Structure formats: structure tokens, C-alpha cells
Amino acid sequence: MKQKLRRDKMGGKPLFDLKVDNRGKVLLAALLLTGAFNMPAEAAVQSEPLVVTKTGQTVTDDFDVKNCTNPAVLEIASSAAKTTDDVTKVDTKSISATFSNKNEANGIWVQDKYPGTVKLADGMTVKVDATGNSYNATGIYLEGVDRSHDPKSKDESVNANEEYKNNDNQISSTTVNVGSGTEITVKAEAPEGKTGVHVNSVALENHFGHMNVGDNVHLNL
């Protein structure tokens, strides 16, 4: 069997011919079955939260977590960077979660004392649905201030001043790069029938670190 492919615009002649016999059919079927055309694999979808603890890690999985009991779906621990040159890459495309823990409900949380840079992929979608009592709900949370310098104080400006003096005249070297085309949706509601509780809803939260935000980022609260 002879199948003519795309024709030349000038002369109407085929640019090349494709000849397929029975052996060719078998070969084509084998290529399709073995994935020899290098079709991209879909990212795995995790149903449990993840804490990144080692330097140089790249996260590629997506997340869909129900009733998350961790303070964040994806947590970047301080141990994931040793120096300001260390980079943690998050190539995740989708983070979605509902929360059942207390106080904290975050899509991505970069801990204080993380000295490096977290690079987030372009086009990432983050959805946080936190319905509960006394929540701080955030899409992407950069906790740049180290409270341990003055553990008796809850005033972050006081802690920021202490950090400045103890960290070579800068408050925090923690850097988060939010990719272009990112979309963040945060839903935070008090339990039905309860009033007077603390519910805080923020799409992007930066506590004295460095947060660089790309173009066309959409925030929904």
C-alpha cells in the first residue's frame, strides 16, 4: 500500500512517500505499544501531603488531598537548603486540598530558616478549601521571619528586627519565585452556625522574605 503525504505548494508533488507493507504495519503497532514516539507521561497525583527535606529536590507530582491534617499540602522544610545558592524546584501543575487540621491550611509553605530559592512552575493551579475554626488559610506562604530570637514576642516586626541584626543585615534570604500564569483560589469559612472565630484568607503571603511574582497571576478569595 502506498500513501502520499503533504504536497508541495508549487508543483503539487508529494514531498515524500510513505510505503507501508504488512511488516510496516506490525512495526507501527509495536512502536505505539512501546511508546517509542516519546509521548509525555502524565504526572502522578498524590493523595497525601509531602514535606521536602533534602537539598536539590525537584517535585513533579500533582496533589489532591482530602481532609489534610498537615499545615500544608507541600511543605519546604528549612533543611531543604543549606546555602543561598541551593534551589528547590516545584514543577507541579495542580495542588488541591480540603483541610481538617487546626490553625494552618496552606497550599505551599516555605519554612523560616530556609536560605535558598524555591522555583514554582508556570501555570500552576493551587486550590485551598479550609472550612473550620481559627484558620490561617494561604495559597503560597513564605515564612521568612525566625521567631526564635524572641520567643516571648508574637510581634513579627520585633522578630524581624532581631533577624536583621543576626542575619548579616537582612531580614530573610528566603526566596520564592511564583511562575507566570499561576492561579490561586483560597476558600476559608467558619463552621456553619459559629460566629466570632478567626478566619484569615490570603492568596500570597510573604513574611519579610523575597517573593517574585510572574505575569498573569490570578488570585481568587
Q: Can you tell me the distance from the alpha carbon of 221 to that of 199, in angstroms, rounded to the nearest whole number?
A: 12
Cβ 184 vs Cβ 167: under 8 Å: no
Q: What is the pLDDT of residues 129-148, one digit of tens each?
A: 987 767 789 999 999 876 65
Helix (H) or strand (E) holding 44: none
Coil, helix or strand at residue 83 = coil
Q: Can you tell me the distance from the alpha carbon of 221 to that of 214, in angstroms, rounded to the nearest whole number?
A: 19
Under-70 pLDDT residues of the chain: 1-43, 133, 146-156, 193, 195-197
CA 176 and chain centroid, separation: 10
- State pTM to two decimals: 0.76
Q: What is the pLDDT of residues 14-47, one digit of tens each?
A: 443 444 455 555 444 544 455 544 555 566 899 9
